[in-house]
Amino acid sequence: MNILAVDCAVSRLCVGLRYDDKMISQTLDIGMRQSEMLLPVIDELFKRAGISPADLDATAMTIGPGSFTGLRLGISALKAIQLAHNVPVYAVSSLECYAHPFSGCGLPVLSGIDANKGKFYASITESGKIILDEDDHDTQKIAEAVRPLEKVIVAGPDASALRDALAALCPDTALITMSAHFDTAETLAEICERMIGQKKEPLKDFDGPSYLRASEAELKRSGIIA
């Protein structure tokens, strides 16, 4: 199965291409330069694989939460391929993607992304059971869910920052920080294949990113902030 996978949810851009049971990928920690690099990286991967977008069976992306700009960039690129070649786009929660490699460890997994302003996009799952719903949480709310747990794997690109924020609030819980530098594109491709096997629905034309938090422009427009 040929799958193009894109993770633009955070400043680290990860793009991968699964083809003929092989996987090639590229990860760039480039901050706000995702818009400059996403399409060239995708093009380079197609050239290396010797296939074209028309040969894809599906594309997959982190749908959010995460960067407003990055998520819009990723969905625009993949929906362009969908329109041109009728390739379905499958959406995976960013937090699910970052937790997935550790889901078989037999411990609760706290997946987190720094949302600034003293908050984290976060969720806690254990063997498919939701302990803390995916949302825009402050550290106190996350700590309330973590305290009853003896050990927790803390995963995601901002795992270290989340661990540090919780350390004093959860002194009796072992916070096990996992590396944030795993290949998220490969994880996305794996989840996408599973979704296709389970006959899950791809994104509809009108579907967009899951932000969990209104943008500053929206807050200003609504009068919540000046």
From residue 78, alpha-carbon distances to 23, 173, 205, 208 in Å are 18, 41, 12, 12
Specify the pTM. 0.91
Beta carbons of 74 and 17 less than 8 angstroms apart = no
pLDDT band at 225 (very low <50, low <70, confident <90, very high): very low
Position 221 scores a pLDDT of 53
23 burial via Cβ count (<10 Å: 0-12, 13-18, 19+): middle
Antiparallel, parallel or unpaired: β 12-19 and 22-29: antiparallel
**pLDDT at residue 106 is higher than 90:** yes
What percentage of the chain reaches a pLDDT higher than 90? 81
218 pLDDT exceeds 70? no
Start-to-end CA distance of the chain, whole Å, equals 50
Q: How many residues does the chain have?
A: 226
* Pair type for strands 119-126 and 109-116: antiparallel
